[in-house]
Amino acid sequence: MNTISYVFGNNLYLNITNRCMMACPYCIKHKWANNFHGNDLKLQKEPSAQDIIKNIGDPKKYGEIIFCGYGDALVKPNIVKEVSKWVKDNGGKVRINTAGLANRYHQKNILPQLKGLADAVSISLNGTNPKEHNELNRPAFGEESFDEIIKFAKEAKEYIPQVVITAVELPGLDVSKVEKIAKDAGVEFRVRPYLDENEN
């Protein structure tokens, strides 16, 4: 079953790819049998921009349209741009939830392309130093990923009005240290509860 979008609270979440730049051991992808809030997010086929747009309906019905997962939408920046432009043109607000490794993944700065299209970006940083981050999330670029994510957050401020670093209350993770990293980077911080079925 291809669940492209699902409602949670006042927002509509988009599930456009299951590919990700991290391989977090706590990701629900490792136990797909547990549906996420009643939605089966395992995609048999990645949707096109037009598939996603049709699925959204009226974006004004929601507080935000959120690119979420399980996967990282910024694996596919062209789709994110096309859908975001349509959402903005039709009166909606766009948030992108990401692992913050897209610039490294694409080997170029993709943030300028999101200017005027994304209202907010939430960047997950589950770790307080390169070693801990690598152990907790198994990112594609190993321990280098930690500094890359903080750099991504700082650069995002130039192009996206609201930039938030988020941390999940994983057992043993000192989220107050992540909060300080966010503050030092000049971005907002939000803590997320550990539900044993976390989003990116």
Residues that bind ligand SF4 (CB under 6 A): 20, 22-24, 27, 29, 69-72, 99, 124, 198, 200
- Minimum distance between the CB of residue 97 and ligand SF4, rounded to whole angstroms? 8
Q: Among 99, 37, 92, 89, which residue's Cα sits nearest to residue 65?
A: 92
Toward ligand SF4, which CB reaches closer, 22 or 111?
22
- Minimum distance between the CB of residue 124 and ligand SF4, rounded to whole angstroms? 6
Q: Sort strands 5-8 and 65-67 into parallel, antiparallel or unpaired.
A: unpaired
For the chain, helix, strand, coil in percent to 5 are 35, 20, 45
Q: Is 198 helix (H, G, I), strand (E, B) or coil?
A: strand
Identify residue 184 by its one-letter amino acid code.
Answer: D
Toward ligand SF4, which CB reaches closer, 88 or 138?
138
Only one residue has tokens 């930690």, namely 146
Toward ligand SF4, which CB reaches closer, 3 or 90?
3
Toward ligand SF4, which CB reaches closer, 86 or 123?
123
Output DSSP code: residue 26. T
- Minimum distance between the CB of residue 120 and ligand SF4, rounded to whole angstroms? 17
